[in-house]
A = this chain, B = another copy of it.
Amino acid sequence: MSMNNLGIVKRGIVRADAAAVAKLARFGVATVHEAMGRVGLMKTCIRPIYAGAHLCGTAVTVLLQPGDNWMMHVAAEQLREGDVVVAACTTDNDDGFFGDLLATSFRARGATGLVIDGGVRDVKDLTAMQFPVFSRAISAKGTVKATLGSVNIPVICAGALVNPGDVVLADDDGVVVIPAAIAQQAADAAEARDANEAGKRKQLAAGVLGLDMYKMREPLEKAGLKYID
């Protein structure tokens, strides 16, 4: 076992099942996160660069060095239709690692979006392209091409572990990572949860209280809740 995971590009990654990915794409991040048992969320600092951005795809992972986007170009070659690039950095760095030229390249290679624990630029062009990007920062600061990182190694991106091939789902609520091995299971659980919510919404809209619908009155009383006037 090697200590060092830098300077590596893994080519033959196993992607999550396409049908599971397609099914997951129908649900929101909050629903899938709940369906999975509340795991796999990235930190809330990762935000869409334009309102309504949405993506779901299989992760091609990139480990960047600060101020250096060389590995983004290496990653482009590894992309297939339906992939999402997930970029982490060896340290906190908000430089603009990505802009409209790379977006053009990534899209031409099949990518459907980018999640990056760092900065991006050309926001106006990316918005015009409707290329969904979820990032920690927006920065015009350019980057060099001088130091190796890696492509398709496991990375920790904004507090979440992402293995190449995992499903990444992102919308206005944030970003959730679904391990490839449980993608179908998570999609099914999301579907069940979603169906269940429709009925609840109807009742609540009619004025039924969650207190009654979820049968909370007894446990609240047991916990010691007191009403005063």
Instruction: Let me know if B95 and A91 touch, CB within 8 A.
Output: yes
Given the complex, which residues of B lie within 8 Å of A130, measured CB to CB? none
> Per-residue CB proximity of A107-137 to B under 8 Å, as 1/0?
1110000000001011110010000000001
CB distance from A2 to the nearest CB of B (A): 8
| A101-B197, A124-B171, A189-B3 as given contacts; A11 in contact with B138, CB under 8 Å | no
Instruction: Let me know if A90 and B141 touch, CB within 8 A.
Output: yes
> Per-residue CB proximity of A167-189 to B under 8 Å, as 1/0?
00001111010010110011001
Instruction: Let me know if B33 and A227 touch, CB within 8 A.
Output: no
A residues bordering B, Cβ < 8 Å? 1, 3-12, 28-30, 33-39, 41, 43-44, 47, 50-52, 65-68, 70, 72-74, 76-77, 90-96, 99-102, 104-105, 107-109, 119, 121-124, 127, 137-142, 144-148, 154, 156, 159-161, 171-174, 176, 179, 181-182, 185-186, 189, 197, 200-201, 204-207, 209-211, 214, 216, 219-220, 223-229
| A3-B189, A10-B228, A210-B76 as given contacts; A33 in contact with B146, CB under 8 Å | no
Instruction: Let me know if B229 and A11 touch, CB within 8 A.
Output: yes
